[in-house]
């Protein structure tokens, strides 16, 4: 499956001082891993806002007691408040990747779930140890590449789900669910079950997320919202603004204002 879906997600709303960096995975993993990232802060209070992006995040919290967590697919924007000195290393898993790891995405919480509740302790312990012992960001990328290569390469999703995802990505979310089911060759109910287990969202909501993610990439250079709405197949500007408010908890103008810190 070729993937053109490269979502934006994390916005640091307030922080005493932080450093954020992203790193590309090995090209062979590009269909399943959107990016690796690191987040470090000075001591203080830090507020992070997450936007729905259809992805599952794997985060390793470094420090005196390193530990790995999963964050399930978000339905709405969330805010997280962190205090003290923070050092996180993570991976943004593209839609379907969690399922290939053997994780039921529909059963994941939007809160931080310890990874060792979903994968064997031995495997998680080795990942956390290797990340903690790696001295540089590039060394941690090597560890993550090895971890995901072992578990994701030469594996595939249900062909019906793969066809549906590719159609959604190609159309930037501008496709009715009924047409999506026909293209995938699956009854709507079956497709809904596949999406719930592998993505953690219904097809209808996932389509909306993908379409708004496309808008998020277009907004900074857009002359007006109506033009973006028409391009992405919204009924009108009001429909577009309603979707932005419901899924992103903001107005299009708000998204433009925070574009510099949206990753």
Residue 30 within any structural domain of the chain: yes
Distances from the Cα of 98 to the Cαs of 52, 79, 122, 185, in angstroms? 16, 23, 18, 23
d(CA 150, CA 76): 32
Those residues whose C-beta lies under 8 Å from the C-beta of residue 190, and which sit 6 or more positions away, are 160
CATH number of the domain that 176 lies in? Answer: 1.10.10.60
Residue 42 within any structural domain of the chain: yes
d(CA 261, CA 128): 28
In this structure, what token pair is assigned to residue 34? 């959107």
Considering the domain architecture, whether residues 115 and 29 belong to the same structural domain is answered as yes
Considering the domain architecture, whether residues 17 and 106 belong to the same structural domain is answered as yes
- Domain encompassing residue 204: 159-261
Considering the domain architecture, whether residues 192 and 123 belong to the same structural domain is answered as no
CATH number of the domain that 103 lies in? Answer: 2.60.120
Domain stops at, among 104, 119, 152: 152
Lowest mean pLDDT: which of 83-97, 163-177, 205-219? 205-219
Considering the domain architecture, whether residues 14 and 136 belong to the same structural domain is answered as yes
Considering the domain architecture, whether residues 50 and 167 belong to the same structural domain is answered as no
Q: Hunting for tokens 């249900």 — which residue is that?
A: 158
Q: Is the pLDDT of residue 17 over 80?
A: yes
Residue 2 within any structural domain of the chain: no
Considering the domain architecture, whether residues 176 and 146 belong to the same structural domain is answered as no
DSSP state of 171: T
pLDDT of 132 reads 96
Considering the domain architecture, whether residues 168 and 105 belong to the same structural domain is answered as no
d(CA 130, CA 101): 19
Q: How many CB atoms lie within 10 A of CB 222?
A: 15
139 falls in which pLDDT band (50, 70, 90)?
Answer: very high
HSE toward the beta carbon, residue 250, CA cutoff 13 A: 21
Print the SS3 string covering 8-19: CCEEEEEECCEE
Q: What is the tens place of the pLDDT at every residue in 19-35? A: 899 999 999 999 999 99
HSE toward the beta carbon, residue 125, CA cutoff 13 A: 3
CB-CB contact of 199 with 206 (8 Å): yes
**How many separate domains does the chain show?**
2
Considering the domain architecture, whether residues 72 and 47 belong to the same structural domain is answered as yes
pLDDT of 258 reads 74
2 falls in which pLDDT band (50, 70, 90)?
Answer: low
Residue 54 within any structural domain of the chain: yes
Q: Is the pLDDT of residue 230 over 90?
A: no
- Cα(first)–Cα(last) distance of the chain, in Å? 24
Considering the domain architecture, whether residues 48 and 79 belong to the same structural domain is answered as yes
222 falls in which pLDDT band (50, 70, 90)?
Answer: low
Considering the domain architecture, whether residues 47 and 148 belong to the same structural domain is answered as yes
Q: What is the tens place of the pLDDT at every residue in 193-207? A: 999 999 999 999 999
Considering the domain architecture, whether residues 184 and 242 belong to the same structural domain is answered as yes
Considering the domain architecture, whether residues 212 and 108 belong to the same structural domain is answered as no
Q: Which residues pair with 114 in a beta bridge?
A: 69
């Amino acid at each position: 499956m070729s993937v053109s879906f490269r979502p934006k997600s994390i916005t640091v709303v307030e922080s005493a001082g932080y450093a954020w960096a992203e790193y590309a995975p090995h090209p062979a993993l590009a269909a399943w891993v959107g990016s690796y990232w690191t987040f470090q802060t000075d001591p203080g209070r830090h507020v992070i806002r997450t936007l729905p992006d259809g992805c599952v995040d794997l985060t390793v919290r470094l420090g005196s007691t390193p530990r790995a967590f999963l964050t399930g697919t978000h339905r709405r924007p969330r805010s997280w408040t962190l205090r003290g000195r923070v050092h996180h290393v993570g991976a943004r898993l593209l839609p379907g990747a969690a399922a290939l790891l053997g994780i039921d995405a529909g059963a994941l919480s939007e809160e931080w779930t310890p990874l060792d509740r979903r994968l064997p302790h031995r495997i998680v312990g080795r990942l956390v140890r290797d990340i903690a012992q790696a001295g540089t960001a590039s060394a941690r990328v090597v560890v993550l590449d090895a971890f995901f290569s072992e578990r994701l390469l030469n594996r595939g999703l249900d062909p019906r789900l793969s066809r549906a995802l590719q159609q959604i990505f190609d159309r930037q979310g501008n496709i009715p669910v009924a047409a999506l089911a026909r293209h995938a060759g699956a009854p709507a109910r079956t497709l809904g079950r596949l999406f719930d287990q592998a993505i953690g969202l219904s097809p209808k909501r996932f389509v909306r997320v993908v379409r708004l993610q496309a808008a998020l990439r277009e907004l900074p250079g857009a002359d007006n919202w109506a033009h973006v709405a028409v391009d992405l197949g919204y009924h009108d500007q009001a429909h577009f603004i309603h979707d932005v408010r419901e899924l992103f908890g903001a107005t299009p103008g708000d998204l433009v204002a925070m574009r510099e810190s949206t990753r």
